Amino acid sequence: MKCIQDVYEAITKEGFTESTLHAIHELVNQIENGFTDLPRFNLREHSGICKAGPAFIGASIVASYAGRSLATSSHAGSSQASPSNWEIDELQEKLIEQWAKAARLWVEASDDIVREGFGPMIAQGAEAKVYYREGSPAVLKERASIYSTTQKALDAIALHNYLFPETAMRVIGFTRDLDGLLRIILTQPYVRCQRLATKEEIDRLAAEKGFRDNSDGQGVNYISERIALEDMHPANVFVDEVTSLPICIDCIVKFVKKGILTV
Protein backbone atom coordinates (compact mmCIF):
# COMPACT_ATOMS: atom_id res chain seq x y z
CA MET A 1 0.00 0.00 0.00
CA LYS A 2 1.10 3.54 -0.74
CA CYS A 3 1.42 6.08 2.05
CA ILE A 4 1.29 9.82 1.52
CA GLN A 5 5.01 10.12 2.25
CA ASP A 6 5.74 7.77 -0.69
CA VAL A 7 3.82 10.12 -2.98
CA TYR A 8 5.58 13.19 -1.57
CA GLU A 9 8.95 11.57 -2.30
CA ALA A 10 7.89 10.63 -5.83
CA ILE A 11 6.83 14.20 -6.61
CA THR A 12 10.09 15.55 -5.19
CA LYS A 13 12.28 13.15 -7.19
CA GLU A 14 10.37 12.83 -10.45
CA GLY A 15 7.72 15.52 -10.73
CA PHE A 16 4.48 14.39 -12.31
CA THR A 17 5.76 11.47 -14.39
CA GLU A 18 3.62 8.46 -15.28
CA SER A 19 5.13 6.67 -12.28
CA THR A 20 4.16 9.51 -9.93
CA LEU A 21 0.68 9.74 -11.41
CA HIS A 22 0.27 6.01 -10.79
CA ALA A 23 1.38 6.43 -7.18
CA ILE A 24 -1.12 9.28 -6.68
CA HIS A 25 -3.85 7.17 -8.31
CA GLU A 26 -3.13 4.27 -5.93
CA LEU A 27 -3.26 6.57 -2.91
CA VAL A 28 -6.51 8.14 -4.14
CA ASN A 29 -8.06 4.67 -4.40
CA GLN A 30 -6.92 3.80 -0.88
CA ILE A 31 -8.43 7.00 0.50
CA GLU A 32 -11.71 6.46 -1.38
CA ASN A 33 -11.94 2.91 -0.03
CA GLY A 34 -11.19 3.93 3.55
CA PHE A 35 -7.76 2.27 3.85
CA THR A 36 -5.84 5.55 4.21
CA ASP A 37 -6.79 8.92 5.67
CA LEU A 38 -6.46 12.30 4.01
CA PRO A 39 -4.70 14.57 6.54
CA ARG A 40 -6.85 17.09 8.44
CA PHE A 41 -10.10 15.12 8.14
CA ASN A 42 -11.69 12.87 10.74
CA LEU A 43 -13.63 9.67 10.10
CA ARG A 44 -17.06 11.35 9.84
CA GLU A 45 -15.74 13.94 7.38
CA HIS A 46 -14.38 11.18 5.15
CA SER A 47 -17.79 10.88 3.47
CA GLY A 48 -17.39 14.43 2.16
CA ILE A 49 -14.02 13.55 0.64
CA CYS A 50 -15.46 10.54 -1.20
CA LYS A 51 -18.40 12.55 -2.54
CA ALA A 52 -15.95 15.12 -3.93
CA GLY A 53 -14.37 12.45 -6.13
CA PRO A 54 -10.90 11.27 -7.19
CA ALA A 55 -9.95 14.56 -8.91
CA PHE A 56 -10.58 16.34 -5.63
CA ILE A 57 -8.52 13.85 -3.63
CA GLY A 58 -5.62 14.04 -6.10
CA ALA A 59 -5.59 17.84 -5.96
CA SER A 60 -5.73 17.75 -2.16
CA ILE A 61 -2.70 15.44 -2.05
CA VAL A 62 -0.75 17.77 -4.36
CA ALA A 63 -1.79 20.87 -2.38
CA SER A 64 -0.75 19.15 0.85
CA TYR A 65 2.63 18.30 -0.68
CA ALA A 66 3.15 21.95 -1.69
CA GLY A 67 2.43 23.23 1.80
CA ARG A 68 4.61 20.55 3.36
CA SER A 69 7.58 21.21 1.06
CA LEU A 70 7.49 24.95 1.72
CA ALA A 71 7.30 24.42 5.46
CA THR A 72 10.18 21.94 5.32
CA SER A 73 12.40 24.30 3.32
CA SER A 74 11.67 27.20 5.69
CA HIS A 75 12.58 25.06 8.71
CA ALA A 76 15.81 23.96 7.04
CA GLY A 77 17.16 27.51 7.16
CA SER A 78 16.87 28.88 10.67
CA SER A 79 16.99 32.46 9.39
CA GLN A 80 13.96 31.94 7.15
CA ALA A 81 10.49 32.85 8.37
CA SER A 82 7.57 30.48 7.96
CA PRO A 83 6.04 30.76 4.48
CA SER A 84 3.20 33.22 4.09
CA ASN A 85 -0.23 32.22 2.82
CA TRP A 86 0.41 33.83 -0.57
CA GLU A 87 3.59 31.79 -1.00
CA ILE A 88 1.76 28.59 -0.08
CA ASP A 89 -1.14 29.43 -2.38
CA GLU A 90 1.15 30.30 -5.28
CA LEU A 91 2.98 26.96 -5.08
CA GLN A 92 -0.23 24.98 -4.56
CA GLU A 93 -1.78 26.53 -7.68
CA LYS A 94 1.37 25.93 -9.70
CA LEU A 95 1.68 22.27 -8.74
CA ILE A 96 -2.03 21.53 -9.08
CA GLU A 97 -1.93 22.95 -12.60
CA GLN A 98 1.12 20.80 -13.47
CA TRP A 99 -0.50 17.69 -12.00
CA ALA A 100 -3.91 18.35 -13.61
CA LYS A 101 -2.32 18.78 -17.04
CA ALA A 102 -0.31 15.55 -16.63
CA ALA A 103 -3.43 13.73 -15.36
CA ARG A 104 -5.59 15.14 -18.19
CA LEU A 105 -7.83 17.00 -15.79
CA TRP A 106 -6.93 20.45 -17.11
CA VAL A 107 -9.36 22.28 -19.40
CA GLU A 108 -8.23 25.09 -21.69
CA ALA A 109 -10.80 27.66 -22.85
CA SER A 110 -13.24 26.04 -20.47
CA ASP A 111 -16.06 28.59 -20.87
CA ASP A 112 -16.79 27.49 -24.44
CA ILE A 113 -16.52 23.79 -23.60
CA VAL A 114 -18.75 24.16 -20.55
CA ARG A 115 -21.46 26.02 -22.48
CA GLU A 116 -21.52 23.29 -25.12
CA GLY A 117 -21.68 20.47 -22.59
CA PHE A 118 -23.70 21.95 -19.73
CA GLY A 119 -25.64 24.91 -21.12
CA PRO A 120 -25.50 28.70 -20.71
CA MET A 121 -24.23 30.59 -17.69
CA ILE A 122 -27.15 31.29 -15.36
CA ALA A 123 -25.32 33.06 -12.53
CA GLN A 124 -21.98 34.58 -11.65
CA GLY A 125 -20.70 35.74 -8.28
CA ALA A 126 -17.40 36.42 -6.59
CA GLU A 127 -16.77 32.72 -6.08
CA ALA A 128 -18.37 30.87 -8.98
CA LYS A 129 -19.72 30.89 -12.51
CA VAL A 130 -22.76 28.63 -12.76
CA TYR A 131 -23.91 26.84 -15.92
CA TYR A 132 -27.15 24.93 -16.42
CA ARG A 133 -29.27 23.41 -19.18
CA GLU A 134 -33.00 23.09 -18.47
CA GLY A 135 -33.90 19.54 -17.48
CA SER A 136 -30.42 18.58 -16.30
CA PRO A 137 -30.14 17.08 -12.79
CA ALA A 138 -26.97 19.08 -12.06
CA VAL A 139 -25.33 22.46 -12.51
CA LEU A 140 -21.69 22.95 -13.36
CA LYS A 141 -19.62 25.51 -11.49
CA GLU A 142 -16.26 27.06 -12.18
CA ARG A 143 -15.31 27.91 -8.64
CA ALA A 144 -12.59 30.42 -7.74
CA SER A 145 -10.98 30.48 -4.31
CA ILE A 146 -11.96 33.10 -1.76
CA TYR A 147 -9.79 31.35 0.82
CA SER A 148 -6.22 32.20 1.80
CA THR A 149 -4.83 29.05 0.16
CA THR A 150 -6.00 26.61 -2.48
CA GLN A 151 -5.81 23.79 0.03
CA LYS A 152 -8.35 25.53 2.26
CA ALA A 153 -10.59 26.08 -0.78
CA LEU A 154 -10.43 22.34 -1.44
CA ASP A 155 -11.03 21.52 2.24
CA ALA A 156 -14.20 23.64 2.06
CA ILE A 157 -15.63 21.40 -0.66
CA ALA A 158 -15.17 18.25 1.43
CA LEU A 159 -16.58 19.92 4.54
CA HIS A 160 -19.61 21.18 2.57
CA ASN A 161 -20.22 17.64 1.30
CA TYR A 162 -19.99 16.22 4.81
CA LEU A 163 -22.42 18.78 6.25
CA PHE A 164 -24.77 19.09 3.26
CA PRO A 165 -24.66 15.80 1.30
CA GLU A 166 -27.88 16.64 -0.54
CA THR A 167 -25.96 19.35 -2.47
CA ALA A 168 -22.58 17.61 -2.61
CA MET A 169 -19.97 19.04 -4.98
CA ARG A 170 -17.96 16.68 -7.20
CA VAL A 171 -14.72 17.99 -8.72
CA ILE A 172 -14.16 17.03 -12.36
CA GLY A 173 -11.32 19.30 -13.49
CA PHE A 174 -9.38 22.54 -13.26
CA THR A 175 -8.86 25.61 -15.43
CA ARG A 176 -7.86 29.27 -15.43
CA ASP A 177 -10.24 32.04 -16.42
CA LEU A 178 -9.41 35.04 -18.61
CA ASP A 179 -8.07 36.88 -15.55
CA GLY A 180 -5.67 34.04 -14.79
CA LEU A 181 -7.57 32.84 -11.70
CA LEU A 182 -7.37 29.13 -10.96
CA ARG A 183 -10.88 27.68 -11.02
CA ILE A 184 -12.07 24.32 -9.75
CA ILE A 185 -14.61 22.78 -12.13
CA LEU A 186 -17.30 20.85 -10.27
CA THR A 187 -20.84 19.58 -10.57
CA GLN A 188 -23.60 19.97 -7.99
CA PRO A 189 -27.23 18.77 -7.89
CA TYR A 190 -29.71 21.27 -9.28
CA VAL A 191 -32.18 22.43 -6.64
CA ARG A 192 -35.53 23.93 -7.56
CA CYS A 193 -36.08 26.83 -5.20
CA GLN A 194 -39.54 27.09 -3.67
CA ARG A 195 -38.41 30.25 -1.85
CA LEU A 196 -35.49 31.67 0.10
CA ALA A 197 -35.08 30.31 3.64
CA THR A 198 -35.92 32.53 6.59
CA LYS A 199 -33.44 33.42 9.32
CA GLU A 200 -35.28 31.11 11.71
CA GLU A 201 -35.07 28.21 9.26
CA ILE A 202 -31.34 28.79 8.74
CA ASP A 203 -30.76 28.97 12.50
CA ARG A 204 -32.58 25.66 12.91
CA LEU A 205 -30.64 24.02 10.06
CA ALA A 206 -27.33 25.12 11.59
CA ALA A 207 -28.37 23.92 15.05
CA GLU A 208 -29.33 20.51 13.67
CA LYS A 209 -25.80 20.23 12.27
CA GLY A 210 -24.28 21.04 15.67
CA PHE A 211 -23.55 24.76 15.14
CA ARG A 212 -24.33 27.84 17.20
CA ASP A 213 -24.36 31.52 16.25
CA ASN A 214 -20.83 32.89 16.56
CA SER A 215 -22.21 36.13 18.11
CA ASP A 216 -20.45 38.45 15.67
CA GLY A 217 -23.63 40.46 15.22
CA GLN A 218 -24.07 39.50 11.56
CA GLY A 219 -26.49 36.64 12.14
CA VAL A 220 -25.22 34.59 9.18
CA ASN A 221 -22.14 32.97 10.73
CA TYR A 222 -22.10 29.84 12.88
CA ILE A 223 -19.46 27.83 14.70
CA SER A 224 -18.85 24.42 16.26
CA GLU A 225 -15.84 23.06 18.09
CA ARG A 226 -14.18 22.07 14.80
CA ILE A 227 -15.81 23.89 11.87
CA ALA A 228 -17.11 27.38 11.07
CA LEU A 229 -19.93 28.23 8.67
CA GLU A 230 -20.12 31.72 7.20
CA ASP A 231 -22.32 33.50 4.69
CA MET A 232 -25.37 31.42 5.59
CA HIS A 233 -27.78 34.03 4.23
CA PRO A 234 -30.99 33.32 2.27
CA ALA A 235 -29.29 33.63 -1.13
CA ASN A 236 -27.22 30.57 -0.17
CA VAL A 237 -29.94 28.63 1.67
CA PHE A 238 -33.11 27.78 -0.27
CA VAL A 239 -36.27 25.93 0.64
CA ASP A 240 -36.32 22.93 -1.69
CA GLU A 241 -39.40 22.65 -3.89
CA VAL A 242 -39.47 18.86 -3.49
CA THR A 243 -38.93 18.45 0.27
CA SER A 244 -40.01 21.92 1.47
CA LEU A 245 -36.92 21.86 3.70
CA PRO A 246 -34.08 24.41 3.83
CA ILE A 247 -31.08 23.30 1.80
CA CYS A 248 -27.63 24.90 1.69
CA ILE A 249 -26.33 25.49 -1.82
CA ASP A 250 -23.11 27.23 -0.94
CA CYS A 251 -21.46 28.95 1.99
CA ILE A 252 -17.98 29.52 3.41
CA VAL A 253 -16.83 26.47 5.37
CA LYS A 254 -13.53 26.17 7.21
CA PHE A 255 -11.77 24.45 10.05
CA VAL A 256 -11.41 26.18 13.39
CA LYS A 257 -7.83 25.92 14.66
CA LYS A 258 -6.85 26.75 18.23
CA GLY A 259 -9.70 29.21 18.55
CA ILE A 260 -8.67 31.02 15.36
CA LEU A 261 -10.51 30.52 12.09
CA THR A 262 -8.31 29.21 9.28
CA VAL A 263 -9.35 31.26 6.26
Task: Give the per-residue pLDDT at 262.
Answer: 53
Angle at alpha carbon of residue 107, lines to 144 and 36, rounded to 5°: 70
Cα three-residue angle 142-146-147, rounded to 5 degrees: 120
Q: Contact at 8 Å (CB) between 158 and 52?
A: yes
The pair phi, psi for residue 121, each rounded to 5°, is -70, 130
- Are residues 171 and 53 in contact, defined by beta-carbon separation less than 8 angstroms? yes
Please give the pLDDT value at position 260. 41
| pLDDT score, position 71 | 83
Residues 239, 192 contacting (CB under 8 angstroms): no
| Coil vs helix vs strand at 222 | strand
Q: Which residues are CB-contacts of 161 (< 8 A; sequence separation ≥ 6)?
A: 47, 48, 49, 51, 52, 168, 169
CA distances from 103 to 58, 59, 62, 81, 175 (A): 10, 10, 12, 34, 13
Domains of the chain, earliest start first: 4-102 (no CATH), 110-189 (3.30.200.20), 193-261 (no CATH)
Q: What is the pLDDT of residue 87?
A: 93
C-alpha 232/C-alpha 72 separation (Å) is 37
Neighbours of 18 (CB within 10 A): 9
| CA–CA distance, 60 with 222 (Å, rounded to integer) | 25
pLDDT at 218: 81
Whole-number pLDDT of residue 125: 80
Tell me the pLDDT of the chain (263 aa) as tens digits: 778 999 999 999 999 999 999 999 999 999 999 999 898 899 999 999 999 999 999 999 999 999 998 887 765 555 567 889 999 999 999 999 999 999 999 998 777 788 888 889 988 887 899 999 998 999 999 999 889 999 999 999 999 999 999 999 999 999 998 888 899 999 999 999 999 999 999 999 999 999 999 888 788 999 999 999 999 999 899 999 999 999 999 999 999 975 444 55
pLDDT value of position 114: 82
